[in-house]
A and B are shown apart, each in its own frame.
Chain A
Amino acid sequence: MKATREAIPAVLTELAKGGADIVALDADLAKSTGLDKFAAAFPDRFFDCGVAEQNMIGTANGLAAAGKTVFVGGFTVFTVGRAWDQLRNVTCYANLNVKICSSHAGISVGEDGATHQTFEDIALLRMLPTMKILVPADYWQAAEMLRAAAALDGPVFVRIGRPKVPFVYDESYKFEFGQAEVLRPGADVTLIGCGVTVKMALDAATELAEDGIHAEVINAATIKPLDEDTIIASAAKTGRVVTAEEHSVIGGLGGAVAEVLSENLPTPLRRVGLADRYGKSAPYEELFPFFGITAEEIAAAAREML
């Protein structure tokens, strides 16, 4: 178990040591993002903007316009929510090299509750032209995505979370931008996850297999641009699709898959996720069952269609 956010200081320090022309900003949350460790290693490459998220993105825009690749931290709810206009009207419109690696996305934030959790960040960013959205399922994938973010042209959002989460991959993992990964082949139903729900989808597939149901499991790690071909091909094979995410069922992975399938290959679909509601406080392990985002719910959604 390791938190995806632990990849932030590790990868940024590695990039800077390798000579990458990067700068990191935070908004008084460097201890949460781990950017304090990056700051200790590269003090003149880090600026703490204080509790001022709009200024953080605005400053990042200026740094990027002057040639830097800028990683911005903070909590996702504020970096993306409070500073959305700054992202919309400058970062994305001007296609600047601003990479959002804020932490505490999703409801896995836990005890801090609804004001600090996110269920809308993917939706908010998905509609912005030039933005790329990557959702890591574990530490290793997060590390690879941060490397990819530095290499990609223009704005990138890596959706990083707070808690320690189980490994799906190992150190040898290589991320391919824009590629959905088929983690387990199956012919009866397609289970598509991203982030923490990838492990849940794998567990659901194991559970379904006990009843002789063969589920195909896909990690839609790149939400934008979405790998439509892989998703359509799997839906064509299985004829049933379940999506799962710690995000609203509106506008996130489920919304994106619904758009792709209804235009290309109308397929029965169930979306597991937050049902148009806010999160709440609780230890995060209790929140997932509370909101119906579990391996069992994914398996149940699959059975409904069989």
Chain B
Amino acid sequence: MSMDRRDFLKLAGLSTVGIGAGWVLSRPGDILEASQFLQTKELLHAKQWAMVVDIRKFKTAEDYKKVIDACHRVHNVPDLGNPKDEVKWIWSDSFEHAFPGQESEYMPQEMKHKQFVLLCNHCENPPCVRVCPTKATFKRKDGITMQDLHRCIGCRYCMAACPFGARSFNYRDPRPFVKEPNAEYPTRMIGVVEKCTFCEERLAKGLMPACVESSNGALIFGDITDLNSEVRKVLADNYTIRRKSELGTRPSVYYILDIPGGDRNA
């Protein structure tokens, strides 16, 4: 035994100090905001950014492709060509898979197979943030669920925690798979988790998200806490649903359904 009682006590004392210092450092808030949040003059402000997807306006395959491509092109999202290693920020899936448990055998078939645009919900109470061991995933003051890709250790705990399958992991080096790299946006390295950022880099320049801009009004974006915002108006006038709202994550992405025959009942 090379450690005697005094050495041991010394070690114990040192570790206590270490843990104490760590605790102080662990206070998130302003330090975090300053280092991980790009603050510019033009930055659009909000308490909670939100999106409404007006599914009635998505008619042809082209309507989906347009918004998906807009996002993936500006954000250098790689196309790995296989579902195993796939990275995606915004994509589409049918009603029965987007809202599992809500479908019924007898519902209009068009609705059952209707494609829905899916992306990170920027949940108000996000489990991905709760579980992240390094604060690489964090909630910004404007409600965006953001990641710091230089801090992420690639543990994928957030992927297990997100009930919406919104997060992708870089199983391979993504760079060779970005077809036309956009020099204005960073590419990612191997081994980190990424997802939709609600275009925080565009909000910082006073611009709307890329997908919203290219959607011809099918995607509506705004501050959900602002009574006069367009999202609030749309939410007040239409019946909307959210994905898995029963889980309590409070998603900030809403869907206006295309109810076949809805007009008839009006």
State whether these chains interact: no
- The interface of chain B, by Cβ under 8 A from chain A, is none
